[in-house]
Amino acid sequence: MANDATTSMHSEVVAPHDVHEHPWYQRHHFETAEQQREAASFGMWLFLLTEIMFFGGLFMAYLLYRNWYYDAFVSGSNTLSLFLGTLNTVVLITSSFTMACGVWAAETRKKGMLLLFLGITLFLGFVFLGIKGIEYKEKFDLNHVPGAHFDISEFVNPPAHSHEKPLPVDMANRTQIYFSLYFAMTGIHALHMIIGIGILFVLLYKAWQGVYTTGYVQPIENFGLYWHLVDIVWIFLFPLLYLINRH
């Protein structure tokens, strides 16, 4: 009997329950749109925490080996192109700025501006990856990629014009650790960029449909947080990998 009462009560309760006052994007299990927004935002921050722990393992390895093999890290670092690294840093920070502008455009419900800013962010993401690709290619050409073809001759007998300190053979071998970490760290960072770019395409399409300019800002805001995190990771990677002995 009690259960019949439950069922009939249900049909009575749903109708007067302010169904039509809720915004369209509110999921049924949230009491208010505010609760949904807070939950989504909190969830995103927690996810960023897992990302920090994920990169944390790499930073731990970097810390250890940089202390052990400082000279190898300096020599390895000096082979990177300071110009391309700086350029990429500028590109990425600019893309973070345009992403923040995108969040602003969504909040103020400006569809054209949102599309524009997301588009620029997407473009800058591709520019970053392109520049990274050029840098990677150079490493392959110089045989600085860890593995069977890794070549230490440049570190043992540096060309006279480079003003580099020659390394003893065992320390020169340790440059392989530097490049291992260089590829692991920048590679996983680039993978995050690629995932981000994939999501940006989806967001652009939905923004073009007008989904995010009617008050439903959460996906844009959360993606913005993700993009900024990827940016911040790079801001740590840049000095750690490029600027070890360039001050």
List Cβ neighbours of 86 (8 Å cut-off, separation of 6 or more).
238, 242
Decide: is 46 part of the binding site for another protein (CB under 8 A).
yes
* Residues 134 to 153 in contact with another protein, rule: CB under 8 A: 146-148
Report the candidate in 133, 179, 125 with the shortest Cα–Cα distance to residue 152: 179
Select from 54, 140, 201, 205 the one that contacts another protein (CB under 8 A): 54
User: Smaller CB distance to another protein: residue 56 or 239?
Assistant: 56
Tokens of residue 38, six digits: 């807070």
Contact between residue 179 and residue 76 where contact means Cβ atoms under 8 Å apart: yes
Select from 55, 128, 227, 234 the one that contacts another protein (CB under 8 A): 55
User: Smaller CB distance to another protein: residue 61 or 129?
Assistant: 61
- Nearest approach in angstroms of CB 21 to another protein is 17
- Please report, for residues 26, 149, 183, 243, the alpha-carbon distance to residue 178 in angstroms, rounded to integers and kept in the order given: 49, 15, 9, 13
User: Smaller CB distance to another protein: residue 14 or 160?
Assistant: 14
Q: Which amino acid appears at position 39 of this protein? A: A
Radius of gyration of the chain (CA): 25
Q: Which residues bind another protein (CB under 8 A)?
A: 2-7, 9-10, 13, 27-31, 35, 38-40, 42-43, 46-47, 49-51, 53-58, 60-61, 64-65, 68-69, 72, 146-148, 173-174, 176-177, 179-181, 183-184, 188
